[in-house]
A and B are shown apart, each in its own frame.
Chain A
Amino acid sequence: METILQLKNVGYRVQENQILNGISLVVNSQEYLTITGPSGSGKSTLLRIIASLLTASEGEILFQGKNIANLDPIQYRRQVSYCFQQPMLFGKTVADNLDFPFQIRQTTPDIAKQKAALKVVGLPETYLTKRITELSGGEKQRVAMIRNIMYVPDVLLLDEVTVGLDEENKRIVNELIEHFHKDHHVTILSITHDAAELNQASRLLTITKGRLEEAK
Chain B
Amino acid sequence: MNLDVNNWSLTLAFLLVMIALWIGYREKLGIDREIIIGVIRAVIQLFVVGYLLKYIFRVNNVILTLTMLLIIIFNASWNAQKRSNGMSNALTISFIAILTSTGITLGVLILSGAIKLIPSQVIPISGMIASNSMVAIGLCYRSMNTQFRDQRQSVLERLALGGTIRDASIGILRESIKTGMSPTIDSAKTVGIVSLPGMMSGLIFAGVDPVHAIKYQIMVTFMLLSATSVGSVMACYLAYRSFYNERKQLKDLAGDD
Contact = CB atoms under 8 A, between A and B. Distances in A.
Do A and B share a complex? yes
A74 B161 contact: no
Contacts, number: 60
B2 to A, nearest CB: 59
A115 interface: no
B249 interface: yes
Interface stretch (B61-69, B150-158, B230-238): B150-158
A78 interface: yes
Interface stretch (A1-9, A80-88, A190-198, A206-214): A80-88
A103 B161 CA distance: 11
A82 B201 CA distance: 60
B246 to A, nearest CB: 9
B247 interface: yes
Nearest to B152: A88
Nearest to A68: B247
A88 B248 contact: no
Interface string B152-170: 0110111111111001000
Nearest to A83: B160
Contacts of B158: 90, 100
A188 to B, nearest CB: 16
Given A69-B247, A103-B167, A81 B162 contact: yes
Contact of B249 (A52, A83, A101, A148): A52
Nearest to A82: B160
A51 interface: yes
Contacts of B153: 84, 88
Interface string A60-90: 0000000001000111011001111001101
Interface string B215-247: 000000000000000000000000000000101
Contacts of A84: 153, 156-157, 160
B249 A77 contact: no
A17 to B, nearest CB: 13
A28 B217 CA distance: 71
A49 B40 CA distance: 56
A152 to B, nearest CB: 12
A112 interface: no
A74 B157 CA distance: 13
A10 to B, nearest CB: 15
Given A88-B153, A88-B154, A103-B167, A53 B161 contact: no
A104 B154 contact: no
Contacts of B163: 74, 100, 104
